[in-house]
Amino acid sequence: MSEIRSGNDSNLNTGRSFGDSCLNAFLQELGDELTGACMVPVNLPQREIINIVKRAKKWFYKNYEDSVLENYYHVPHSVFSSQYFKTNRTLNLPGASVDGSGSVFSVFGVHDIASGWNSTGGGLDVRFQGGGDFAIEKMLFRGMYDGSGAAESAAELEYYVLNQSLADMARQILENPISFQYSRLTGELKIMGDTPKGDLILDVYETIPDCALFDDEIFFRYCSAKIKQSLGAKLGIFKFALPGNVEFDYDAIKDMGDTELESIIEEIKGDEGVDWMFHS
């Protein structure tokens, strides 16, 4: 059996935050990949492999959209009356649970409900609510039955989208948007402007469970490439021969990892998304 281990350290901590069963299966798969299912007699240090996986998780959260999940958080207005908030002007957002999920990686929207966020027909909300002569269905399908054809319906839809976008932009400007800063290292969300007048809704990206990330083949390939880089760079410092005077070409192993990693990064950069951007 090809396993990732380090000497006789039977008390090696695999990290509870990963979830032992998923982590052990993932390490086993990495061991089979790097040793060719025991065809290559190399002992992989488990502690270094786990450190590489931990660093890879952080890199993926920053650069790979499938490693995080969009979610909404509700903050009651009573929180802003607490002495802690009055003193620090910060909200402490959750960290990762035992399975690695639920850690708030970024905050990209803070909405004050008292200012009309997602309200029904209030303030500058000009969305069609349905019913009557102003239903969006009548606007879109009118051209199909009065002889003007689908072109007019398409134009009507275009006008609706443009007007809604304009109203949304005006709402963000006129409804006193909340200024904020979020630190993913401390998990603190600092409210920079006025104290919110009502409850808050936070738009956040939070981490997915480790088991789900380990099941992604591109994450597996990334970890494998990083391990090859580390194996070639660190073990290549010491030149020694295996039984039978067989020597490893550690430079070739490192070059293989470099090539694979470059290919993976280019693949992630080329993965099209609607609202995700990769900065190299």
pLDDT in tens, 13-64: 344 445 567 888 898 888 888 876 555 666 677 888 899 999 999 999 999 9
Dump pLDDT digits (tens) for 91-122.
999 888 888 898 999 998 888 886 555 544 44
Task: Return phi, psi of residue 175, to 5°.
Answer: -95, 30
Average pLDDT over residues 210-235: 89
Q: Is the pLDDT of residue 179 over 90?
A: no
Buried b (16+ CB within 10 A) or exposed e, 45-76: bbeebbebbeebbeebbebbbbbbbeeebebe
Dump pLDDT digits (tens) for 239-271.
666 666 667 777 788 888 899 999 999 999 887
User: Tokens 């500058």 map to which residue?
Assistant: 124
Give the Cβ contact number of residue 7 at 10 Å. Answer: 10
Q: Is the pLDDT of residue 129 over 60?
A: no
CA distances from 269 to 88, 256, 262, 266 (A): 38, 20, 11, 5
Question: How far apart are the C-alpha atoms of 260 and 208, rounded to whole Å?
Answer: 25
Q: How many helices (H) and strands (E) does the chain have?
A: 8, 6
Check: CB of residue 5 under 8 Å from CB of residue 43. yes
pLDDT, averaged across the chain: 76
Q: Among 128, 120, 194, which Cα is nearest to 163's?
A: 128
Buried b (16+ CB within 10 A) or exposed e, 190-229: ebeeeebebbbbbebbbbbbbbbbbeeeebbbbbbbbbbb
User: Tokens 């035992």 map to which residue?
Assistant: 98
- Rounded (5°) CA angle 265-278-208: 85
Dump pLDDT digits (tens) for 195-216.
888 888 899 999 999 999 999 9
Check: CB of residue 220 under 8 Å from CB of residue 214. yes
pLDDT score for 124: 45
pLDDT score for 260: 92
User: Tokens 């299912």 map to which residue?
Assistant: 37
Question: How far apart are the C-alpha atoms of 111 and 123, rounded to whole Å?
Answer: 14
Written as six digits, the tokens of 74 are: 């509700």
Judge if pTM exceeds 0.75: no
User: Tokens 């399908």 map to which residue?
Assistant: 141
pLDDT score for 116: 53
Helix, strand, coil percent values for the chain (each to nearest 5): 50, 15, 35
pLDDT score for 5: 40
Lowest mean pLDDT among 130-134, 147-151, 246-250: 130-134
Q: What percent of the chain has pLDDT over 90?
A: 30
- For the chain, the domains span 16-63+216-270, 67-207
Q: Is the pLDDT of residue 83 over 80?
A: yes
CA distances from 50 to 45, 58, 186, 232 (A): 9, 13, 23, 17
